[in-house]
């Protein structure tokens, strides 16, 4: 389980995250929602160690990892799918997936989990194509597959539906649901598309101006009027 404890973050004199704390339990999908610019991506960068927190702690399975580097956090089992996908366009699909094994020594194609090909069969069909030749939706599937390559304990997804065609969104939704139901992975989903987040969320957290202003069960999102809080 991933736990955030009283996190504070600053950009210069701007206090961007204020006493942020919540748990991301194993075997469930936790949706982090909020309007643009409220600190969601900054929070993910703090979890990954790309941004340094001023106070508080990030814990993985009860261990304080706040001072660890991004590479060390990835090695412990935190997989990250960044906003904008950030695949390697000149590498093949297969080579991109092997890059997800960078935190493991001597990672090779044979070490890739078979479930990646099963979850996203289009990647198997295009395994020798360059990443840059894929559509936006296929690149998103590739980015998720790359994060799954190292069999993470925690999977973090930042806006996975951004700029993606509806048919691919459904494929990504099915994949995230299957991963959560498997029971051995904690999933943190940052998403602007309310219906997508609601359909997947076991738990939700709403961030506004760097503060957690609401949280609860995913099944209660409509009743709790979460849509109004995150509407642009």
Which pLDDT score, from 0 to 100, does residue 111 have? 75
pTM to 2 decimal places: 0.93
Q: What's the mean pLDDT when you consider all of the chain?
A: 92
Instruction: Enumerate domains of the chain plus CATH numbers.
Output: 2-230 (3.40.50.300)
Alpha helices by DSSP H, listed for 53-186, are: 70-76, 93-99, 114-119, 121-125, 136-148, 166-182
Query: Tens of pLDDT along 133-182?
Result: 999 999 999 999 999 998 999 999 999 998 888 888 999 999 999 999 99
Helix (H) / strand (E) element for 47: namely helix 40-48
Query: Tens of pLDDT along 59-115?
Result: 999 999 999 999 999 999 999 999 888 899 999 999 999 988 877 665 566 778 888
């Amino acid at each position: 389980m991933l736990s955030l404890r009283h996190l504070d973050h600053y950009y210069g004199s701007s206090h961007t995250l204020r006493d942020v704390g919540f748990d991301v339990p194993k075997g469930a999908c936790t949706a982090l929602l909020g309007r643009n610019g409220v600190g969601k991506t900054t929070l993910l960068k703090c979890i990954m160690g790309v941004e340094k927190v001023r106070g508080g702690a990030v814990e993985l399975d009860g261990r304080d990892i706040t001072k660890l580097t991004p590479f060390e956090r990835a090695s412990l089992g935190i997989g990250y799918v960044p906003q904008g996908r950030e695949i390697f366009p000149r590498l093949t699909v297969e080579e991109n997936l092997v890059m997800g094994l960078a935190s493991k020594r001597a990672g090779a194609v044979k070490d890739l989990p078979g479930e990646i090909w099963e979850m996203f069969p289009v990647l198997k069909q295009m395994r020798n194509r360059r990443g840059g030749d894929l559509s936006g939706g296929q690149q998103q599937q590739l980015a998720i597959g790359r994060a799954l390559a190292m069999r993470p304990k925690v999977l973090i997804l930042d806006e996975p539906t951004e700029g993606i065609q509806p048919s691919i969104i459904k494929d990504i939704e099915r994949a995230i649901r299957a991963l959560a139901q498997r029971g051995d992975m904690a999933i943190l989903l940052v998403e602007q598309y309310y219906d997508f987040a609601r359909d997947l969320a076991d738990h939700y957290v709403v961030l506004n101006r760097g503060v957690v202003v609401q949280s609860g069960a995913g099944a209660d999102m409509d009743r709790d009027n979460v849509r109004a809080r995150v509407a642009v």
